[in-house]
Amino acid sequence: MTEMISNINEKIGLIGRIPVRNLWLLMLYASHLFRDMEKDNIAVEENPDDIPDLVAEILCRQVERRIQRNLSYGYQTEKAVLSRVRGRIDLLNTERNRLLDRGKIACSFDQLTVNTIRNRFVRAALENISNSVKRTPLARKCRSLAGSLRNMGVTGECPGRSQISVERFGRNDTEDKPMVEAAHLAFNLALPTEASGTKKLTSPDREIHWIRKLYEKGIAGFYNVLLSEQGWSVVAGKTVGWLIECKSPGIDKILPTMKTDIILDHHSSGRRIVIDTKFNSIVTHGWYREETLRSGYIYQIYTYLRSQENNGDPLSASATGLLLHPSVGNMVNESIVIQNHEIRFATVDLGATAKEIRKQLLHVIK
C-alpha cells in the first residue's frame, strides 16, 4: 500500500497507532538542538502540537545569527563563456560553438560564493516550513529570512539529500552546524501518515526502519540532555568486546561485534544501566502460553552485561540491563536478577501525551 504525506496543519495523524506528534518529539530528542532548547527553558513536552512552530523559531534564530556574523562562503564550480582564460578550458564547447572566432572561450573555474549547497538547503528549509507553521507572523518571518538569503545571492534549486549528506564542517565553519541541523529537522517534519496526501513514498518498509532508528536516537538524546546535568554520563553506540581467552587464527574475520544502544553511568552512586532499544512488541506468542518474553533479546542483554564485566571497572560488577520497547496503551515494567545483574523489561507508551512519555522514560531508570 502506498502511503502519502499529509499536510501537518491538518488533524494530527498516526503512523500505525503512534501519533505523528510524538514522532516529532522523538526527532527533537534525537537532534542536537534539544540541548539548546533545554538551556532556553522551552517546554517542548507542554506543547507537542506546536513543534513545527518551535522548530521554525529555532531555525529563524539560527539563520539570524549567521546573517549577523556573515554567512559562510565556499568554492563552487561554475561554467561561463569569457573573453580570457580562467580555470580550465572547456575545449568541447569552445570548438562546438566556434567561440574563438568571436574572441571568446568556454571555461570551468572555482568561484568563491555565498551560494553554497549548505546555504541553499537552509533557504529551502525556511520556505518549506513557512507553509507548515500555525502562527502567521512566524510564517512571514520564515519567508522574509528566505528572501534575505536570496537577496544576498543564495539562489537556485534546493540540493538533494545525497548532496547535503556529504557536507562536512571544518574548524572555520562550525557555527553553521546548528543552522543546518535545524534545517534538517524542518524538512523531516513532513512525516508519512495514513492520511491521503500529494507526495508518494515508494518504500514503506524503509520508513519503518527510519522510525526504528529514530526511536533509538530519540531515547539516547533524551537521556543525554536530562541526565547529564545530574552527574550521569551517557554513551550511545559503544562497542563491547568479547571476553576471549583464546581464539583460532581466522575467527576475527567472522566474529561479530557487540554494540550497545545506550550506556548510562553514575559514578557517585555506583550505578550503570545498559539499555537496548527494540522497536517491536516486548512479548510474543509462546509454545505453551499466550505471551512470553523474546528469548533472543534476553540472551543478548545477558551477554552484554557479562561481557562488560571488568575487574578494573567497579560499575561493571552490578550493572543493570534494560530492554526498552515502545507500546501503545499497555505497559510492562518487570525485572529479574541473574548472577548479580538486574535485567528489567519495560515499555514506553508512544500513544500517551508527551508529558507522560517524559515521565515514563525517567521512571524506568529509577
10 and 83 co-located in one domain: no
Q: Are residues 322 and 195 in the same domain?
A: no
7 — pLDDT class (breaks 50, 70, 90): very low
What is residue 119's three-state secondary structure?
helix
As a whole number, the mean pLDDT across the chain is: 85
Domain count, the chain: 3
Please report which confidence band the pLDDT of residue 340 belongs to, taking 50, 70 and 90 as the band edges: very high
Q: What is the pLDDT of residue 49?
A: 60
Residue 11 pLDDT level (bands cut at 50, 70, 90): very low
Pair (227, 347) in one structural domain: yes
Predicted pLDDT of residue 206:
54
**Residue 9 pLDDT exceeds 50:** no
Closest CA to 23 of 202, 213, 162: 213
Q: Which stretches of 7-133 are assigned E, i.e. beta strand?
A: 14-15, 18-19, 74-82, 88-89, 105-113
> Which three cell numbers, joined as nine digits, stand for 60?
529563524
Global pTM value: 0.70
Lowest mean pLDDT among 30-44, 231-245, 248-262, 275-289: 30-44
Nearest to 318 by CA among 338, 298, 295, 345: 338
Q: How far is CA 170 from the centre of its chain?
A: 20
- Here the contacts of 68-72 (C-beta below 8 Å, separation 24 or greater) are 69/175, 71/114, 71/119, 71/149, 71/152, 71/154, 72/114, 72/116, 72/118, 72/119, 72/172, 72/173, 72/175, 72/176
pLDDT of residue 149: 96
Residues 134, 38, single domain; the answer is yes
Same domain, 319 and 187: no
Last residue of one domain, picked from the residues 113, 135, 163: 113
Q: Which of 180, 202, 224 is the last residue of a domain?
A: 202
**177, pLDDT greater than 80:** yes
pLDDT tens digits, one per residue of 88-129: 999 999 999 999 999 999 999 988 999 999 999 999 999 999
Asked if 302 and 359 sit in the same domain, the reply is yes
* Strand arrangement, sheet containing 271-277: 233-236, 262-266, 271-277, 320-327, 341-349, 333-338
Decide if pLDDT at 6 tops 60: no
Residue 237: C-alpha distances to residues 108, 211, 266 (Å): 44, 17, 18
Q: If pLDDT is split at 50, 70 and 90, which confidence band does 22 have?
A: confident
Could you tell me the three cell numbers for 179?
Answer: 543552522
What is Dmax (Cα atoms) for the chain? 89
Is 220's pLDDT higher than 50?
yes
Residues 195 and 227 in one domain: no
Does 211 share its domain with 198? no
170 burial via Cβ count (<10 Å: 0-12, 13-18, 19+) = exposed
28-69, pLDDT tens digit by residue? 888 877 766 666 656 566 555 677 888 898 899 899 999 998
Are 66 and 126 in contact by the 8 Å Cβ rule? The answer is: no
Whichever domain contains 241, its CATH number is 3.40.1350
Structural domain for 104, as ranges:
74-113
In terms of C-beta density within 10 A (0-12 exposed, 13-18 middle, 19 or more buried), how is residue 185 classed? buried
